[in-house]
A and B are shown apart, each in its own frame.
Chain A
Amino acid sequence: MSCIGREDENISPQLYRASQDYIYRKIADTYVLIAVGGNIANFNGYVSINETAAVLWERLQTPSTAETLQQVLVEKYGIDRRQAAKDVQDFLDEMIQHDMVEVIRDG
């Protein structure tokens, strides 16, 4: 538990939020993020995401911390917190890099 506590301290307390320029849809058994608004012309339509990313995206409809997102994964999939932290960080890195998740700096 102390290990988890140290990790938590290292996670930025920043708040993250899903970009309004993308909408999420489940189409049959696939999950996609669709570009809307000004992004349509700059983006190739949509990206497919896996179920875990879809869960995180839905949570990010309201501003959330990385810790909150980890907790969502731990509760939903029963994975250990270390794994959840890695999954969340990978997800956020990828999404932020593509402007699909916004960092709310004053969060």
Chain B
Amino acid sequence: MRVMNIEAWKSADFFTRRMHDFMEKINSLFLDALKASLMNTSVDWEDAQGFRDEDWSSLFAMADMHNVLPMIFEAFYCCPAAAQADPALMAACRNKVRNTVVMQAMRTEEALRLLSFLESRDLHPLVVKGIVCRNLYPKPDLRISGDEDIWIPWEEYGRCHQAMLEFGMEPVDPTQDIKKADEVPYVKKGSPLYVELHKSLFPVESKAYGDLNSFFAHARERAVRVQKTGIADIRRAESIQASAPADVDTIATLGFTDHLFYLICHAFKHFLHSGFGLRQVCDIVLFANAYGKAIDWVYVAKCCREIRAEKFAVSIFRIGEKYLTFSPYAACFPEAWRTMDVDESLMLLDLLDAGVFGDGSMSRKHSSTITLQAVSAQKEGKKTSHGLLRSLFPPAKDLEKRYTYLQDRPWLLPAAWTARIVSYVKETRHTGNDGAVKAMEIGYQRVDLLRKYDIID
């Protein structure tokens, strides 16, 4: 995928050209197959459409980048064009899909066992995203995620940690200060299960989005219990308090309104970093379709406005409606959002380029320093240009974790700046992937994108 040119974005003529451009063959095939997968149908691609091995390889790579290869494969494997493709190429893809789905099925089963185990220890884990979103898909195991996110109350962490150890889980990083950290990842030996235990939904110390936690301060009181499999029965879920005695058939999770807003915030967080992918759009679309009737859209819209994510959220749903399966009617989507003047095309371009969680390229990942600084500066009432300068020369406090000597000797800050730049240049040279200049280019382009969606001034 190409990197966007922000100067060209500003040109109306370019839009027309670019719209044709980004709907080019692979993107179009990718979106078609993704939509078919969400609808539990298959695509009917004919070989007459001129499929070449390179087309298939590009499609697989794109699907992989968005972590939706199993969904895409399921949608096309029996179409006429696939039957004409190189058997070795298809067999390799089939094997990869099978292995990926097997691992996901194992992770889900293990995660459900872990949740039951934690509840049996009188703990109160809330599942966010993961299993709850996976159950919305026609074939849940095809929705892949590397980890399961569990939110627990701060005060329960000590006991929860002991229970995790008892279950066979251990912290990924033995040197992490798990008492202070607001997120502790765990793995289980001999198992593919990887769990992120969150004491807060967003990193508290983040200047760019730590304030999102305030919206969920009372979310635990509004939590619900949903079935472990399938789409939840809304009435049943809302009738059972999450604090009610645990039963083996259900798991505790955020209330429907909180959960949708959380999914938006989570995508927003990644958008502020280096981008988010279409899998997250699928989650939001399917969640709104399934639980729209139970969602307080006025509240969601109000919260989105408060965090300057209203255009961002509307664009997600607009993409969902145009290219995926979002049904404004089924979701009881508010009229104000339906008619809002928003151009979602730039976001779609960014999404296609970003890959899952904006991991599309090293340069893109590194570009997050620039976007996050711009947002932080805005929140501190400073000009975003201040943030851009600060992204190159951050204050000592921001570098203390990596350059620990700054804790005692803050006057060594210029040395840390130099070390940081040298290290980055070395890293990009070593990996041979993109470069520091490209990361800055993407960062500045994405800062402009944040402006387009009114996230910053």
Binding site for B on A (CB under 8 A): 23, 25, 27-30, 32, 34-37, 40-41, 45-46
- A27, A30, A35, A37, most chain B CB atoms within 10 A: A27
Residue of A nearest to B142 (CB): A27
Which residue in B78, B98, B106, B189 is a CB contact (below 8 Å) of A35? B106
Return A20 CB to nearest CB of chain B, in Å. Answer: 10
In the assembly, what is the distance between CA of A30 and CA of B98, in Å? 8
Q: Say yes or no for B52: interface residue by CB 8 A criterion.
A: no
- B77, B98, B99, B113, most chain A CB atoms within 10 A: B98
Inter-chain contact B94/A34, CB cutoff 8 Å: no
Fill in one digit per residue for B62-93: 1 if any A CB lies within 8 Å of its CB, else 0. Answer: 00000000100110011000000000000000
Q: Say yes or no for B380: interface residue by CB 8 A criterion.
A: no
Inter-chain contact B98/A34, CB cutoff 8 Å: no
Which residue in B94, B99, B110, B190 is a CB contact (below 8 Å) of A28? B94
Fill in one digit per residue for B106-137: 1 if any A CB lies within 8 Å of its CB, else 0. Answer: 10011001000000000000000000000000
Which residue in B77, B98, B102, B191 is a CB contact (below 8 Å) of A41? B191
Residues of A within 8 A of B191 (CB): 40-41
Residues of B within 8 A of A32 (CB): 98, 102
Binding site for A on B (CB under 8 A): 70, 73-74, 77-78, 94, 97-99, 101-103, 105-106, 109-110, 113, 141, 189-192
Which residue in A27, A30, A36 is a CB contact (below 8 Å) of B109? A36
Inter-chain contact B141/A25, CB cutoff 8 Å: yes
Q: A23-B105, A28-B97, A45-B102 are in contact. List 14 more A-B contacts (CB 8 A).
A: A25-B141, A27-B70, A27-B98, A27-B102, A27-B141, A28-B77, A28-B78, A29-B77, A29-B78, A30-B98, A35-B106, A37-B109, A37-B113, A41-B189
- A28, A29, A37, A45, most chain B CB atoms within 10 A: A28
In the assembly, what is the distance between CA of A23 and CA of B101, in Å? 12
Given A28-B74, A28-B77 in contact, is the A40-B106 Cβ separation under 8 Å?
yes
Residue of B nearest to A48 (CB): B98
Inter-chain contact B78/A27, CB cutoff 8 Å: no
Residue of B nearest to A21 (CB): B109
Residues of B within 8 A of A34 (CB): 102, 105-106
B contact patch SS: helix
Return B456 CB to nearest CB of chain A, in Å. Answer: 44
Residues of A within 8 A of B192 (CB): 40
Inter-chain contact B102/A46, CB cutoff 8 Å: yes
Residues of B within 8 A of A29 (CB): 77-78
In the assembly, what is the distance between CA of A37 and CA of B167, in Å? 11
Question: Can you name 27 A-B pairs with beta carbons within 8 Å?
Answer: A23-B105, A23-B109, A25-B101, A25-B102, A27-B70, A27-B74, A27-B98, A27-B102, A28-B73, A28-B78, A28-B97, A29-B77, A32-B98, A34-B102, A34-B105, A35-B106, A36-B106, A36-B110, A37-B109, A40-B190, A40-B191, A40-B192, A41-B189, A41-B190, A45-B99, A45-B106, A46-B98
Residues of B within 8 A of A30 (CB): 94, 98
Shortest 3 CB-CB distances between A and B: which pairs? A41-B190, A36-B109, A46-B102
Which residue in A25, A28, A41 is a CB contact (below 8 Å) of B105? A25
Inter-chain contact B102/A40, CB cutoff 8 Å: no
Return A73 CB to nearest CB of chain B, in Å. Answer: 25
Residue of B nearest to A24 (CB): B105
Inter-chain contact B106/A27, CB cutoff 8 Å: no
Residues of A within 8 A of B74 (CB): 27-28
Residue of B nearest to A42 (CB): B190
Return B356 CB to nearest CB of chain A, in Å. Answer: 20
Return B393 CB to nearest CB of chain A, in Å. Answer: 48
Residues of A within 8 A of B97 (CB): 27-28
Return B197 CB to nearest CB of chain A, in Å. Answer: 20
Given A35-B106, A36-B106, A40-B191 in contact, is the A27-B113 Cβ separation under 8 Å?
no
In the assembly, what is the distance between CA of A36 and CA of B105, in Å? 8
In the assembly, what is the distance between CA of A35 and CA of B69, in Å? 22
Residues of A within 8 A of B113 (CB): 37
Residues of B within 8 A of A25 (CB): 101-102, 105, 141
Return B96 CB to nearest CB of chain A, in Å. Answer: 11
In the assembly, what is the distance between CA of A23 and CA of B190, in Å? 18
Return B124 CB to nearest CB of chain A, in Å. Answer: 24
Residues of A within 8 A of B102 (CB): 25, 27, 32, 34, 45-46
In the assembly, what is the distance between CA of A48 and CA of B94, in Å? 13
In the assembly, what is the distance between CA of A37 and CA of B102, in Å? 13
Residues of B within 8 A of A46 (CB): 98, 102
Return A61 CB to nearest CB of chain B, in Å. Answer: 14
Return B97 CB to nearest CB of chain A, in Å. Answer: 6
Residue of B nearest to A45 (CB): B102
